[in-house]
């Protein structure tokens, strides 16, 4: 089975066609592009809705929430008109203060709950963004026991990882495993059937460069962050004592089970 990158922002790349072609030559053949807000949903739909290699999701990212109280009519209307949307996301909580105008914790939580309700009502998986917020995310999920999905770009210890797995969630593994030993340990110990592999391209490479203090951090792809997927698969396979091709098939099957494709 060819590779399935479960979370990448193709629409943020300067030349997505070139990057995708290069990655496809290396064994990737499917990408999921999450949503961040209405303008981005439209842009991604224009770019990729006709490409069978790309799946699209829609959601209000916690960085880009409207100022008004949670009103999901725009998202509901979008879903009504775009039946090919495979997930709600990315949604969630980000309690790392990127700038003084970051939405308040309560505002983020209200929007998170409102979007979980849509996922429940439409029987769609969710793509969760969680930064310094795992406990609050899990509090929210308890209100919606039927909702499943993935915590993308998971960072944390094994105990937190299993708290999600026990709720039927998948965890997205990205390049941060090269810098966070606790995260590598967690993702190497949870059931393989609950691991997805993602690039979050181009964002996760930038984040890992920041963590490492090195702007030359390029585990695989030189100028193509989509190729980081193969590096992540290989590193996790090594940590789990598996052959890379066996683990690649497993995580790609996992993504297909969750999102279709």
pLDDT recorded at residue 219: 47
Top-confidence residue, 49 or 223: 49
Q: Which of 64, 65, 46, 66 is nearest to 56 (CA)?
A: 46
pLDDT tens digits along 55-73: 999 999 999 999 999 999 9
C-beta neighbour count of 184 within 10 angstroms: 18
Residue pointed to by tokens 């792809």 = 221
**Residue 105 corresponds to which tokens in the numbers above?**
């914790």
The parent domain of residue 54 ranges over 3-259
Distance CA 131, CA 107 (A): 15
pLDDT tens digits along 163-202: 999 999 999 999 999 989 999 999 999 999 999 999 999 8
pLDDT tens digits along 7-52: 999 999 999 999 999 999 989 999 999 999 999 999 999 999 999 9
Counting the structural domains of the chain, the total is 1
Question: With bands split at pLDDT 50, 70 and 90, how would you rate the model's confidence at 151?
Answer: very high
Work out the average pLDDT over 65-82: 95
Residue 160's CATH number:
3.20.20.140
């Amino acid at each position: 089975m060819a590779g399935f990158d479960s979370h990448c922002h193709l629409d943020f790349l300067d030349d997505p066609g070139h990057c995708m072609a290069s990655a496809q030559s290396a064994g990737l053949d499917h990408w999921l592009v999450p949503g961040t807000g209405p303008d981005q949903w439209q842009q991604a739909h224009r770019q990729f809705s006709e490409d069978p290699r790309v799946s699209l999701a829609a959601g209000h990212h916690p960085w880009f929430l409207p100022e008004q109280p949670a009103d999901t009519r725009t998202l509901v209307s979008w879903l009504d008109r775009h039946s090919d949307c495979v997930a709600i996301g990315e949604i969630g909580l980000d309690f790392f203060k990127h700038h003084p105008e970051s939405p308040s914790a309560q505002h983020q939580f209200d929007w998170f709950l409102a979007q979980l309700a849509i996922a429940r009502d439409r029987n769609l998986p969710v793509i969760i963004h969680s930064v310094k917020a795992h406990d609050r995310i899990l509090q929210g999920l308890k209100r919606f026991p039927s909702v499943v999905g993935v915590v993308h770009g998971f960072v944390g210890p094994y105990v937190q990882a299993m708290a999600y797995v026990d709720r039927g969630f998948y965890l997205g593994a990205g390049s941060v495993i090269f810098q966070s030993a606790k995260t590598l340990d967690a993702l190497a110990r949870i059931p393989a059937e609950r691991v997805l592999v993602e690039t979050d391209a181009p964002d996760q490479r930038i984040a890992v460069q920041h963590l490492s203090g090195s702007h030359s951090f390029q585990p695989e792809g030189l100028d193509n962050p989509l190729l980081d997927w193969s590096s992540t698969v290989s590193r996790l396979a090594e940590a789990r004592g598996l052959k890379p091709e066996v683990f690649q098939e497993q995580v790609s099957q996992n993504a297909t089970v969750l999102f279709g494709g």
